[in-house]
Chains A and B, each alone.
Chain A
Amino acid sequence: MSEHGFETEGLAKSFGKVTALDGVSVAVPRGQVHGLLGPNGAGKTTVIRILATLLRPDSGRASVAGFDVVRQPGRVRGRIAWSGQHTSVDEELTGLANLVMIGRLLDLPRPRARLRAGELLARFGLEEAAGRPVAGYSGGMRRRLDLAASMVGHPEVVFLDEPSVGLDPGKRDELWQLIRGLRADGVTVLLTTQYLEEADALADAVTVIDHGRVIASGTPAELKRQVGGHTIVVRVDDPADTGTAAAVLADVADRTPERSSRHELVVPVAGAEDFFEITARLREHRVAVSELSLRLPSLDEVFLALTGAPGTTANDPHEPTKAA
């Protein structure tokens, strides 16, 4: 048995002239939750589809649970579950019928398939809705059913492509609990997300990709240290104070703050301690502020810190994966 849940080496894939992946290597130990982070069009979906045997790489190697995704796709499919960006359950069928069907496709005898479906419906909080057609389910219920459908075959490795898209914060927490539950069962999970916060909440380790290349990897804590963790935003009352405030920020944060407007300064800091230090010093220097906040880094700031260039979070042209 491979010690890796899954592994890729120099994965490359192009769609026509568009290069989606340009040498992606990731290795994730069994039983870990791994976050694949990146803006739209970075190649996250392409990586996950190759691992789920839905797409062939042009070059490079990928294996899941020790089996090669190109040479042994059948072995891989017997051990994985895949859940796409759009929930892929049948609208016309009931929640129960959807799960029983997957069980039957996995060669469970009908009674076993029904039993397994019942177990999963209970675990995913869908018992009451089990007999209703999915067409009447809410977005959160569909997502849970989709996840339940992934779990029917007791997969060893689960691939979730942007699982929290379209969920409100409460439902998202629910989903996070379910994913932590998978981890507790020893399942290896790969999830893609655009949000550092999500990766932070769930993942043992994170790989950041952009334009089809790995630009950073490590635990969320490592990544944050690299990025600078939090950001402090100071908005001074009087623009004349900007110079003083900038000196304070530069001194504490050990970086030159960016002036985002006439009144506003932004600087990445290591953590909350810096925030209190800056607060105290601003008071000492009698700088009147109208706004002072400590923010988690946005994905843009991660990219700023990791690549030295602003991330392309929206309307990226390199997004062939949606159509694939």
Chain B
Amino acid sequence: MTATSLEQPRTRPFAWCRHSLVLARRSLAKTARNPGPIINGIITPALFLVLFLYLFGGSVAGSTAEYVQYLFPGILVMGAGLAGMVSTGTAINLDLKNGVTDRFRSLPISRVAPLLGSVLADLVRYLIAVAVLFALGALLGFRAAGGFGAALAAAGLAIAFGFCLSWVTVFVGVLVRSAEVVLAIGFISFLPLQLGTSLAAPVETLPGWLRTWAEINPVSHAMDACRALLDGTPVGDSVTTTLIWCAILFVVFCPLAVRAYSRQQ
């Protein structure tokens, strides 16, 4: 037996970065083999898009062609939010439960590499969700009046917001013992979080209590910001408010999740 047990010295730089990438690949390979969760995360907003568009399009906006311009940006934000909620939170929870995380922890790698890897893979999943939704939107007649650059900015903003919001789910996923509970919490929070917003109609048209909530709800701001960007109308302070919310969610929940994750012992 030799003094070095590994075939490579372990002093190579950026080990945590490399290991996170290896684990991001793992996460994506798992999604490729078992695409159920991500398909779920795309079908839900797609269903809301089609349902709301044809049910309410006529009465809310006069025609579906008008309404899709209003509805689609909100659906985009919902899609990015769901893509984040369904992946890392539940995956991390499962890994913790069935001992995979313990195996990783017994390896000479950074303790947070599995968490970072999964979140990195989420970014790819967001891109897929957003791309599919844009394709569906175009099919239903949505046109980005603000132009290509603005559409990219809207997609980027939706993804950034979904990413920051996902840290809440990651935190819950690390704390809660069962994947079912994580899913249940996600499902219950979906209604007020995603639907109690300006998604289907401007907040001014909502009844008092709902309006108050929708005006506070950060998801509303993200939807308004994306709508303004895609329409090419003045964004006002919606983009700034969204970015501030992103920062708050990230700064609060990312450290909480990482701490809870590395302390799991």
Interfacial residues, chain A to chain B (CB-CB below 8 A): 1, 30, 49, 52-56, 74, 77-90, 92-93, 97, 101-102, 104-109, 112, 133, 149, 153-156, 186, 324
Contacts and interface: CB of A to CB of B under 8 A. Distances in A.
Interface stretch (B26-34, B58-66, B241-249): B26-34
Interface residues of B, number: 32
Given A55-B265, A92-B30, A93-B26, A78 B99 contact: no
A86 B10 contact: no
B108 interface: yes
A105 B19 contact: yes
A178 to B, nearest CB: 18
Contacts of B29: 92-93, 97
A107 B19 CA distance: 8
A93 B30 contact: yes
Interface stretch (B1-9, B127-135, B147-155): B1-9
Nearest to A152: B107
A85 B99 CA distance: 8
B99 to A, nearest CB: 4
9 contacts: A53-B105, A53-B106, A82-B103, A86-B99, A93-B33, A105-B107, A106-B108, A107-B18, A154-B5
| Closest CB pairs A-B (n = 3) | A92-B33, A88-B99, A82-B106
Nearest to A188: B1
B22 interface: yes
Contacts of B34: 92
Contacts of A82: 102-103, 106
A105 B1 contact: no
A56 B265 contact: yes
B100 interface: yes
| Most chain B Cβ neighbours within 10 Å, of A1, A86, A88, A102 | A88
B26 A54 contact: no
Given A155-B5, A186-B1, A105 B22 contact: yes
A2 B169 CA distance: 45
Contacts of A324: 265
Contacts of B145: none
B254 interface: no
B47 interface: no
A78 B100 contact: no
Contacts of B190: none
A107 B26 contact: no
Nearest to B265: A55
